Amino acid sequence: MKKDIKIVAVISSPNFNGNTASLVREAINGAKEEGASVTEIFLANYKLEFCKGCLICNAKGKCPINDGFEEIRKLIYEADGIILGSPTYALEYNAVMKCFFERLGTYTLYTSLLGGKYAVGISTSYKRNGAKNVAKKLTSIFKFGIFERSYISGTLGVHTMVNGAQKKVCESNDDLKKANELGRKITKDIKSNNRYTLQTVIMRAVIALYLKPIFKNKEQKERASYYSLHQRGLI
């Protein structure tokens, strides 16, 4: 059973004490109660620039933009589990979260550096279904580990408009309880090395038959990606 469990919780809402942060922090409490050590990253406290699409990360293994993102990247790579929390904006996760995903870069995706990690998606919205969909979308990136997939421990979407009145998530014991349980679940999954075999079966077939052969040839422009994969015995 795994000990020293590290979880990173990324919050992309601009509201430090808003609805999304309330749920994520309760998930953090749940994770800590199960023995994980958790680092919260409140993205609004960072000055994140947009990805410039230079693809230098594929050759060098890091982003050339000097804005503090490498500090976040390191925490993500070292984590066993990642809790992602975004408000629902225009039916999607917000632009700050999108920027975070893009800054992880193609290097992270090509080399499956999220592989083997566990993920949880949390969102809040006004309307029914908005947040549920977005919570699921938040975990999509974890399905694209070409060589090593990640596992999704669960998602939670909470809408605040109920019968024409708006509820405060921080006062909603039911929702906080669900968030707490999700924090506990991701930690238990990490502890027990829960493989979620069905989540990965199709992707594993696509990888073996189609993607691995393509990536074997990518030694030039993508040399950092290639070496990372080679070193870890993935190609």
Ligand X SMILES: Cc1cc2nc3c(=O)[nH]c(=O)nc-3n(C[C@H](O)[C@H](O)[C@H](O)COP(=O)(O)O)c2cc1C
Stretch that binds ligand X, among 42-50, 51-59, 89-97, 141-149 (CB under 6 A): 89-97
Q: Is residue 24 helix, strand or coil?
A: helix
- Selected from 8, 19, 107, 152, the binder of ligand X by CB under 6 A is 19
Q: How far is the CB of 219 from ligand X (least distance, A)?
A: 44
**Per rule CB under 6 A, is residue 172 in the interface with ligand X?**
no
**Per rule CB under 6 A, is residue 16 in the interface with ligand X?**
no
Q: Which is nearer to ligand X, 112 or 160 (CB)?
A: 160
Nearest Cα neighbor of 226 from 73, 55, 54, 59 is 59
Q: Which is nearer to ligand X, 172 or 225 (CB)?
A: 172
- CA distances to 37, 92, 113, 157 from 124, rounded to whole Å, are 25, 11, 28, 6
DSSP letters of 15-69?
-TTSHHHHHHHHHHHHHHHTT-EEEEEEGGGS-PPPP----HHHHHSS----SSH
**Per rule CB under 6 A, is residue 160 in the interface with ligand X?**
yes
**Per rule CB under 6 A, is residue 74 in the interface with ligand X?**
no
Stretch that binds ligand X, among 15-23, 173-181, 184-192, 204-212 (CB under 6 A): 15-23
DSSP letters of 76-91?
HHH-SEEEEEEEEETT
Q: Can you tell me the distance from the alpha carbon of 120 to that of 24, in angstroms, rounded to the nearest whole number?
A: 10
- Selected from 108, 125, 155, 172, the binder of ligand X by CB under 6 A is 125
Size of the site for ligand X (CB under 6 A): 17
**Per rule CB under 6 A, is residue 88 in the interface with ligand X?**
yes
Q: How far is the CB of 129 from ligand X (least distance, A)?
A: 8
Nearest Cα neighbor of 70 from 114, 104, 115 is 104
**Per rule CB under 6 A, is residue 87 in the interface with ligand X?**
yes
Footprint on this chain of ligand X (rule: CB under 6 A): 13, 15, 18-21, 87-91, 124-127, 130, 160
